Chains A and B, each alone.
Chain A
Amino acid sequence: MCDTCGCNLTPGNKHLAFKPVPKGATAVSVLKGLLAKNDDQATHNREHFDRRGILAINLMSSPGSGKTALLEATLTELKDEFTCAVIEGDLETENDAERIRAKGVQAHQIVTGTACHLDAHLVHDALHQMSLDGVDILFIENVGNLVCPASFDLGQHLNVTLLSVTEGDDKPAKYPVMFRAADAMLLTKTDLLAVLDDFDPDKAEAHLRNLANPAPVMRLSARKDLGMDAWLTWLREQLAAQRARVAIGQSRRPAIQSDGVKYHSVTV
C-alpha cells in the first residue's frame, strides 16, 4: 500500500475519494491512520525488542491502582529467573523509578510534564538511555489514566490493565476503549475485598466480556502475596511465546482484536 498510486483504494472506500470539487482545487484521498507517525515509531520500537528477544509489556490503570506495587512484588519474585527492566511514566517526580531501583532493577523515569500518556517517541528516547542487553522482560508503566494511554501504541507486545477493587466493578463499562485494549486484566488489592461490600469480581469480568474481550482475568494482592502465582505463570508463558515468535521471525501487536482489522473496509 502506498500514498501515491491509489492502490489503497478499495471498493469499500473509493466513494470517499472521488467527489466533485470547485475549479482550482483538488480533493485528495488519504485514508491513513491519524497516528501513523506514532505507529511507525512503535513498529520500530517493537523491532528493537524483537531483535533482542525482549518481551515488552505496557501496564495501564487509574492512578493508585497498584502498578508500581505489582512491579515491586513481581521483580522480587522473578529476580533469580529473568533480567527485567522498567520504564516509568509520570507527570512529575522520579519516585517510582527509585522504588524499582531499590529492588536492584534498571529503571528509567519518563517525566511527561503535563502529557497524560506515553507515546512511542517518548519510549524510544527512553530506550536509547537504557542498557537493553540481556533484558528478558521490559515493563512500561504508563501514566495513571484510564483514557488517553489506550490510544497510543508504544511498541509493546501486550497490554496489561489493572483494576483495583477499591474502584468500581463497572470500570470496564465506563472506560471501554481502555479495557478493550487489555490482553490481561488484573484485579488488584483483593485482600481488601473482605472489607468492601460493593465490588463484585464476577461483575467486573462480565463487563470485560461485554467488550468482546477474551483476556484472562487474574485476581491478586501484590502487598499480601495473594494470587501472584497465576500472574507469574502467565508472564513466563508470554515470555516463552515471545521467544517462539522471535525464533520464527514473527512479532505480536497488543490485542484490540488485531484480526478484526482485516474486516474493515479501509486499510489502516
Chain B
Amino acid sequence: MHELAVAQALVEQVDAVITQHQASTATAIRVRIGPLAGVVPELLATAFPLAAAGSRMEHAELEFTHAPIQVRCQTCGAETEAAMNRLICGACGDWHTQVISGDELLLESVELETTPTLSP
C-alpha cells in the first residue's frame, strides 16, 4: 500500500516537469518499473487517480515500461535473465552477480500539452 506514497511522489515530479516546460497539462506519463523496485504497477495505476485528482495531470494516461530482471555474473561475466527470488547466474549458477536491470523506479517521459503561444 506504499504505492500511494509513490503515486504522490510521481504527481509532484510530473508537476515540476509541467512547470519547467511552461506547459498546461500532462497527457501521458511513462514510468519504468522493475520487479525488484518493490512497487506493483497495477497498484500504482490504482493509486494514481487519487493522487492526481485536481492536478494538471488529472486526465493523463499512465503507461508502464516493464524492466526485465537481468544479472551480470562476477565470476563468468555472462549477462542473463533471472527470476525475482533467484538472482543467480543463468550460465554458471554462481550467486556472485550484480543486478543490471530490474530494480528501476523511474519517471521515463512525460507528454505535455503546450499552451498556444501568441506569435505576432
Contacts and interface: CB of A to CB of B under 8 A. Distances in A.
B38 A147 contact: yes
Nearest to A115: B5
A29 B65 CA distance: 14
Contact of A212 (B9, B12, B17, B96): B96
Interface string B1-35: 11001100110110001001101000100111000
Contacts of A117: 2, 5
Given A26-B21, A207-B85, 9 more contacts: A25-B111, A25-B114, A26-B112, A28-B109, A29-B108, A37-B12, A119-B5, A177-B37, A268-B106
Interface string A196-229: 0000000000010111101000000000000000
Contacts of A207: 85
A153 to B, nearest CB: 12
Contacts of A30: 13, 17, 106-110
16 contacts: A16-B30, A16-B65, A17-B109, A27-B111, A28-B110, A29-B108, A31-B107, A33-B107, A34-B6, A34-B9, A34-B105, A151-B38, A177-B37, A211-B85, A212-B99, A263-B100
Interface secondary structure of A, over-half rule: mixed
Contacts of A212: 71, 87-88, 95-99
Given A210-B87, A211-B87, A260-B99, A177 B110 contact: no
Interface stretch (A126-134, A168-176, A235-243): A168-176
A199 B86 CA distance: 20
